[in-house]
Structure 1
Amino acid sequence: MNKRLAPLTASMRIIEKYFPDCHGAILSGSAARGEVTETSDLDIIVFDDRLQDSYRESFIDFSWPIEVFVHNLTSYQFFFERDCREGRASLPRMIAEGTVLKDMGALKKIQDEAKALLMNGPEVWTQDTITYKRYFITDLLDDLTGSQNRGERIFIAGSLAERLSEFVLRTNRQWTGSSKWMIRSLSQYDKELADGFMEAFNHFYKTDDTKPIERAAASILEPYGGRLFEGFSLGK
């Protein structure tokens, strides 16, 4: 890590070397938040109005692994709309919370759009969607408590953690995420709930006891009618 240029310095040089005529650029991710680790890369969003289509590319330079997300001045809107539908504010968060590396006057409008999207939250789940999600959480809970295979239970628990955290966040019109952003999003919404959630799953992985997970799931589902099996229909 000591041999590397500082993240901001390296990012500026990357823009100068690869995108000298771009209209704007933003450093995002852990480097922008000051949370760099030995495995961190540099996430850079580039805006160039001469491009026909957006693209993503990974490479190594200045001793850094680098991911660039390159857009023209309108292509990012497709990803904003997709993120809103899916409830995962990946690109809007990167743009709104990143550090500006270069701006020829195009970024304020784009960042304002990203910030407004984050503030408004994702699309509201319909009652049908809530019913659908309850059913499949119930199915995972039954699989978890019914299986006698430790390996199966480990993987079922991982799927259940993702489904439950998504349910909590989306029913409260909060942005969710995948992988590390799952627990980050939950913690940002409700730190106490997130801590209890982690304790329940950590207890299971250590002891194979599913009771804390079952209690957490019951608390999450109860306001929406609890577990669901009988009467569920899909595509009838």
Structure 2
Amino acid sequence: MKRMKRMKPLFAAKRFVDEYYPHCQAAVLAGSVVRGEDTPTSDLDIVIFDNQIEEAYRESRIEYGWPIEVFVHSLTSYKTYFRSDAERARPSLPRMVAEGIVLEDSGILSNIKNEAAELLHEGPALWSEQIVTIKRYMLTDALGDLIGTQNEAEALFIANTLAEAIHEFVLRTNGQWIGASKWIVRALKEYDEDFADRFVTAFDAFYKTGNREGIIRLTDDVLAPFGGRLFEGYSIGK
């Protein structure tokens, strides 16, 4: 079977919507192709708004030479996802809608895009003092594991835990959205490029040479404004 040549992303996205969702009220193309960050393995992220569906769903397809991720919503279901994304501080759907290129619009997208943009601008709810204390303890605990372990295999995964925890702590204590996977570094860069560079340098040095000092210093500097490492006196549920 001959493989179809990959179409231009915008043309492929419009054709996909016309063919599979001809009666939708709106559709946007989002993701790396919109930001100019696409790679040979990038897919097309398409958000559909359709008042004929009863429940939101997500589907993966390969069409016109592209892997396509389609996120289908009713004219109300997206609000639930906006709220849940805000609660977990990872605004995936609001970001896609806000940055997305319009593929189809019956006149509803302006309001939805405004909702997404306002949510992104507002940022996530600030952590309570109790949550900061818990996260401070968890960072301290993971750092202790990294310092103490003599098992290099274990150290790799402890470092992974620290990377995610440090990024979360820095961003959430500063009222910023967090990320996952490749979005960890992107989220840090959006907040503070200098810190993001230091973060990458510390973990890069560890993964390449096993040197833990950069991660230790980074963690201590992140904890310092909140009282430093926390173990003695920590209690929860007592």
TM-score in same-fold range (> 0.5): yes
Distance 1:132 1:64 in 2: 44
Structure 1 stretches lacking a partner, 5+ long:
none
1:144 to 138, 146, 149: 146
* Mapped pair 1:173 → 2:172: no
Distance 1:207 1:133 in 2: 28
Letter in 2 for 1:84: A
Q: Runs of at least 4 residues of structure 1 off by over 3 A?
A: none
Structure 2 equivalent of residue 118 of structure 1: 120
Q: How far apart are residue 234 of structure 1 and its match?
A: 2.1
Structure 1 equivalent of residue 15 of structure 2: 13
Task: Give secondary structure in 2 for the equivalent of 1:69.
Answer: strand
Letter in 2 for 1:159: T
Q: Deviations over 1:69-106 (max 9, x none)?
A: 00011101111111111111111111101111111011
Letter in 2 for 1:211: E
Q: Deviations over 1:180-231 (max 9, x none)?
A: 0011000010000000111111111122111111111111110011111111
Asked if the contact 2:127–2:173 (Cα under 8 Å) also holds between the matched residues in 1, the reply is yes
1:101 to 96, 100, 103: 103
Distance 1:131 1:226 in 2: 11
Task: Give secondary structure in 2 for the equivalent of 1:70.
Answer: strand
Task: Give secondary structure in 1 for the equivalent of 2:115.
Answer: helix
Q: Deviations over 1:126-171 (max 9, x none)?
A: 0000001001111110010111011110111011000000000000
Structure 1 equivalent of residue 52 of structure 2: 50
Letter in 1 for 2:219: A
Structure 2 equivalent of residue 153 of structure 1: 155
Q: TM-score, normalised by structure 1?
A: 0.98
Q: How far apart are residue 3 of structure 1 and its match?
A: 2.6
Structure 2 equivalent of residue 27 of structure 1: 29
Structure 1 equivalent of residue 40 of structure 2: 38
Task: Give secondary structure in 2 for the equivalent of 1:45.
Answer: strand
Distance 1:177 1:31 in 2: 19
Percent identity reads 53
Alignment of structure 1 residues 181-196 onto 2, 5 Å = 181-196=183-198
Asked if the contact 2:57–2:71 (Cα under 8 Å) also holds between the matched residues in 1, the reply is yes
Task: Give secondary structure in 1 for the equivalent of 2:200.
Answer: helix
Distance 1:24 1:77 in 2: 15
Length, aligned pairs only: 236
Q: Deviations over 1:95-131 (max 9, x none)?
A: 1011111110111111000000000000110000000
Structure 2 equivalent of residue 69 of structure 1: 71
Structure 2 equivalent of residue 131 of structure 1: 133
Distance 2:232 2:92 in 1: 36
